[in-house]
Amino acid sequence: MFLVILFLLTVTINAQYPTVKSKIENLPTFDNKVLHYGYFVGFNDFGFKFEYTDGYYANEKNPDIELEKSLGFNVGLIGDLRINKFFNLRIEPGLYANQKKLIYPDQLNFKNDQEKVREVKSTYIHIPLLIKFSSIRINNFKPYLVAGFSTSFNLSSNQKSNDDNQNNVFRVKSKTFNYETGFGIDFYLPYFKFSPSIRGIFSINNELIQDNDIKSPWTSNINRLFSRAVVINFTFE
């Protein structure tokens, strides 16, 4: 669907403005490079998708866990391999940091308000392998789509900790696999290419580590846990 929309957008622009006055092209041979590098900085909004255990239905009696998110940051490097005029293979290893709070419902009868809140800090080494599909260049800009798979290593996962939520330690797995997709625009400036983009990241393996107590109020009602994120990156190539 994204590919169709991008093609239609390109065709529409060319059809409606066939005689648009050409501007002086910046970096006219940039896209002919077989291999080039860059870096990115940006922001992220990481959250969780909860899948509850059988027999637990979110309603007034058993409400969802509330998720309070904070804006995180990203920084990393880019390696880009040209396949042809429209496709590039990219690797974008980076550091993604964020934190969020899980606020459990009052119905679980915790002893105090501190017990119903768990803070989850995450520091990911994120390594995506992506295919970038670009439209035809129009003067000094070019829209594109990007999609692929990635691996994340959470340095703050607490996976090896013997403590659990009884000791205020919320544990998740240290390694996740994800798929991601997004879009952006390349802007060709006089000395470099600047590209703002937005992307969704979706983990595909269960990240939750259950507490030692099988009746734990923090994890017993959760069957599986998945990361979900919206990422905005600003790349310089």
Greater model confidence, 14 or 42? 42
- pTM for the structure as a whole: 0.85
The pLDDT of residue 110: 80
- CB proximity list for 31: less than 8 A, separation 6 or greater: 82, 85, 137
Q: What is the pLDDT of residue 111?
A: 83
**Average confidence (pLDDT) over 17-22:** 50
Question: What average pLDDT is seen over the chain?
Answer: 88
Q: Would the pLDDT of 125 be above 60?
A: yes
Number of other CB atoms surrounding residue 173 within 10 Å? 16
Q: Give the range among 80-89, 185-194, 210-219, 223-232 with minimum mean pLDDT.
A: 210-219
Assess whether pLDDT exceeds 70 at residue 16: no
Output the pLDDT for position 5.
44
* 173 inside domain: yes
Which two three-digit tokens encode residue 156?
A: 């703050």
Does 24 map to a domain? no
Backbone angles phi, psi at 174, to 5 degrees: -80, -20
In a domain, 16, yes or no: no
pLDDT at 188 over 60: yes
Rounded Cα distance, 156 and 69, in Å? 16
Q: Note the pLDDT of residue 55.
A: 66
Contact 186, 157 (CB under 8 A): no
Q: Would you say residue 35 lies in a domain?
A: yes
Q: Where residue 213 sits, what CATH number does that domain have?
A: 2.40.160.20
Inside any domain, residue 67? yes
User: Is the residue at 19 inside a domain?
Assistant: no
For residue 142, give the nearest of 97, 186, 87 by alpha carbon. 186
Q: How confident is the model at residue 7 (pLDDT cuts 50, 70, 90)?
A: very low
- How far the first Cα of the chain sits from its last, in Å, is 28
| 31: pLDDT strictly greater than 90 | yes
Whole-angstrom CA distances from 158 to 75, 102, 114, 120, 171 are 23, 16, 20, 10, 5
Residue 25 lies in a domain: no
Residue 61: the pLDDT is 59
> What does the pLDDT average to over 43-70?
81
- Is residue 50 domain-resident? yes
Query: What is the extent of the structural domain holding 172?
Result: 2-6+30-236
Distance CA 178, CA 155 (A): 17
Q: What percent of the chain has pLDDT over 90?
A: 74
Structure confidence by residue, pLDDT tens digits, 58-114: 555 567 889 999 999 999 999 999 999 999 999 999 999 999 999 998 877 788 888
Structural domains of the chain, count: 1
pLDDT in tens, 145-178: 999 999 999 999 999 999 999 999 999 999 999 9
Torsional class of 168: left (φ above 0), alpha (ψ -120 to 50), beta (otherwise): left
* Half-sphere exposure at residue 46, Cβ-oriented, CA atoms within 13 angstroms: 23
